[in-house]
Homo-oligomer: A and B are copies of this chain.
Amino acid sequence: MESENRPLDALNRARGHRVMVELKNGKQFMGVLKAFDIHINTVLENAEERVEGEMTRKLGTVFLRGDTIILISPE
């Protein structure tokens, strides 16, 4: 289907599931994908930050500004 070939459809299928978000500053956030918009502003729940594979912070709910994001991948 055409509608399943848009990039945001892949994010939509990941909604409610755990994802890994990688930022331009090299940090990663793991958490449940709660929301996103066309700017790729993203909200994770039960989020934790990882730097070089080590868990560095638990953040609960976190709003990530879209322009800081490199990639989002379902776990």
Cβ contact within 8 Å between B63 and A35: no
Give the number of residues in A that approach B within 8 Å (Cβ atoms). Answer: 37
A71 to B14, CA, bound (A): 20
A72 to B35, CA, bound (A): 14
Cβ contact within 8 Å between A15 and B5: yes
Closest B residue to A38 by beta carbon equals: B39
Cβ contact within 8 Å between B61 and A40: no
A66 to B5, CA, bound (A): 16
Cβ contact within 8 Å between B73 and A62: yes
A65 to B38, CA, bound (A): 11
Given contacts A7-B42, A23-B70, 5 further A-B contacts (CB under 8 A): A6-B37, A7-B63, A10-B63, A63-B72, A67-B67
